[in-house]
């Protein structure tokens, strides 16, 4: 077949657009359409495919949707990742505002006007990252969603006092986590994200609210007399796996779940996520642990000790969960999935922001070292030791390194903390 090829120069690079048999694209006796066509530089390219060989373990940085929509910021991120041990990026698809960061092919999102074109050419953005071998994760804030509350107030948490949608300490409104329609709304967004070539979808705010006048909350769907909050979240994750059977799914949970056994009132229990997702990401920022945690007046000043403690606790819980899965027969009343995936991997969020103390390269790196030392211990490998030249020397240990993600709300990361490529 004879084809015509048009070369399109755009800021992101060079694309070749091929049209089938242009000689046949005639309008009456006019010249071929290919000679007349006017290409729209703002038009997106076709959806992409996930990376054929994803990196492992994942080492990511976080970008807001606004950053991901900036070609200069994306270029800087690609440069940083290419020069260091980083290999992945987490991008906001739906943040705490409830607005989707591009125009998705999701009927409800379009009907409610719940999108902003912050990332105008999202498929092209994915291609830029994939062309550099970078794994792309789409983050979706689930139950904190003021936009869906406005569009569908019947799904909102309501105030017993006023009958209006309830707001937390910041006035942000929340959805009832037990509403199946809310689950499906978010999963339709996730399906669109995955169809565009994102390698993984990350669910955040999969919990009940933690602050504000919690005694004033009225639920339309959740019944505290018949169900525990963590069971609601587990049911959502089970449903997500059923709807996204082959997708890579990760979830964000509070750091305190790593050492608290019971549901602390927010619906998150450390073990629940491991049954249905691929990676569990506790937010173990040292600055977020209170005064006196494991004996430190200011835990933020002790990143190695804090991260090592909570990661050790995490691996202990994972081991206990694995043993429980192996021992418990699957039946109609079992809480275990009928065909569970291999137990999810641990991939914590780490701190790269100043809070409680200035976080320089030494403190950021200390968290990564703590993770690896904990992983090595869990795998039965020796921890880091120093030789006579005072250089770190590690014996081979296939499971002695785990993934992690760095969080900076400003999307500014400490390059000196990262090992070179």
Q: What is the pLDDT of residues 46-83, one digit of tens each?
A: 999 999 999 999 999 999 999 999 999 999 999 999 99
Q: How confident is the model at residue 337 (pLDDT cuts 50, 70, 90)?
A: very low
Sequence-distant (6+) residues with CB within 8 A of 313 are 258, 259
Give mean pLDDT, residues 332-357: 75
Give mean pLDDT, residues 10-30: 33
For residue 24, pLDDT beyond 90: no
Q: pLDDT tens, 167-176?
A: 999 999 999 9
Span 53-381+403-416: which CATH code? Answer: 3.20.20.80
pLDDT, residue 82, reads 97
pLDDT, residue 383, reads 65
For residue 34, pLDDT beyond 60: no
pLDDT, residue 336, reads 45
pLDDT, residue 400, reads 67
pLDDT, residue 90, reads 98
pLDDT, residue 326, reads 77
Residue, of 4 and 191, whose pLDDT is higher: 191
pLDDT, residue 385, reads 52
**Rounded CA separation 88/130 (Å):** 10
Give mean pLDDT, residues 98-117: 98
Give mean pLDDT, residues 225-236: 96
Query: Nearest to residue 204, comparing CAs of 229, 172, 245, 233?
Result: 233
Per-domain residue ranges for the chain? Answer: 1-43, 53-381+403-416
Write down the mean pLDDT value for the chain.
Answer: 87
Give mean pLDDT, residues 183-195: 98
Provide the pairing of β-strand 392-393 with 385-386: antiparallel
Q: pLDDT tens, 199-223?
A: 999 999 999 999 999 999 999 999 9
For residue 311, pLDDT beyond 90: yes
Sequence-distant (6+) residues with CB within 8 A of 112 are 147, 148, 150, 151, 152
pLDDT, residue 275, reads 87
pLDDT, residue 41, reads 65
Q: pLDDT tens, 365-415?
A: 999 999 999 999 998 886 655 444 444 555 567 666 799 999 999 999 999
Give mean pLDDT, residues 40-49: 88
Look up the pTM and report it.
0.86
């Amino acid at each position: 077949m004879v084809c015509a090829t048009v070369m399109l120069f755009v800021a992101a690079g060079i694309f070749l657009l091929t049209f089938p048999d242009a000689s046949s694209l005639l309008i009456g006796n006019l010249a071929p359409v290919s000679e007349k066509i006017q290409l729209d530089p703002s038009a997106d390219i076709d959806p992409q495919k996930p990376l054929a060989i994803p990196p492992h373990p994942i080492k990511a940085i976080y970008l807001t949707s606004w950053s991901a929509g900036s070609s200069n910021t994306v270029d800087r991120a690609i440069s940083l990742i290419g020069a260091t041990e980083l290999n992945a990026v987490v991008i906001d698809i739906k943040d705490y505002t409830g607005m989707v960061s591009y125009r998705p092919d999701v009927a409800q999102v379009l009907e409610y006007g719940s999108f902003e074109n912050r990332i105008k050419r999202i498929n092209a953005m994915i291609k830029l990252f994939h062309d550099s071998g970078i794994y792309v994760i789409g983050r979706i804030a689930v139950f904190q969603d003021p936009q869906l509350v406005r569009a569908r107030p019947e799904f909102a948490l309501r105030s017993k006092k006023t009958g209006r949608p309830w707001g937390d300490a910041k006035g942000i409104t929340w959805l009832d986590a037990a509403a199946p329609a809310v689950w499906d709304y978010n999963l339709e967004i996730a399906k669109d994200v995955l169809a565009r070539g994102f390698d993984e979808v990350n669910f955040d705010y999969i919990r009940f609210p933690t602050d504000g006048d919690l005694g004033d909350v009225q639920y339309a769907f959740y019944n505290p007399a018949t169900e525990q909050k963590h069971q609601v979240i587990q049911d959502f994750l089970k449903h997500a796996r059923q709807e996204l059977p082959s997708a890579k799914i990760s979830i964000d949970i509070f750091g305190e779940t790593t050492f608290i056994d019971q549901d602390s009132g927010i619906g998150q229990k450390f073990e629940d996520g491991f049954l249905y997702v691929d990676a569990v990401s506790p937010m173990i920022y040292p600055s977020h642990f209170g005064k006196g945690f494991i004996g430190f007046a200011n835990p933020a000043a002790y990143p190695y000790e804090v991260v090592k403690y909570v990661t050790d606790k995490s691996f202990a819980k994972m081991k206990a969960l694995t043993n429980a899965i192996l021992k418990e027969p699957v039946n109609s009343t079992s809480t275990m999935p009928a065909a569970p995936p291999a137990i999810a991997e641990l991939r914590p969020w780490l701190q790269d922001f100043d809070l409680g103390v200035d976080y320089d390269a030494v403190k950021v790196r200390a968290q990564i070292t703590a993770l690896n030392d904990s992983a090595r211990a869990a795998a039965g490998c020796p921890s880091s030791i120093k030789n006579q030249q005072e250089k770190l020397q590690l014996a081979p240990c296939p499971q002695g390194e785990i993934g992690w993600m760095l969080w900076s709300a400003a999307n500014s990361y400490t390059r000196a903390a990262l090992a070179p490529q």
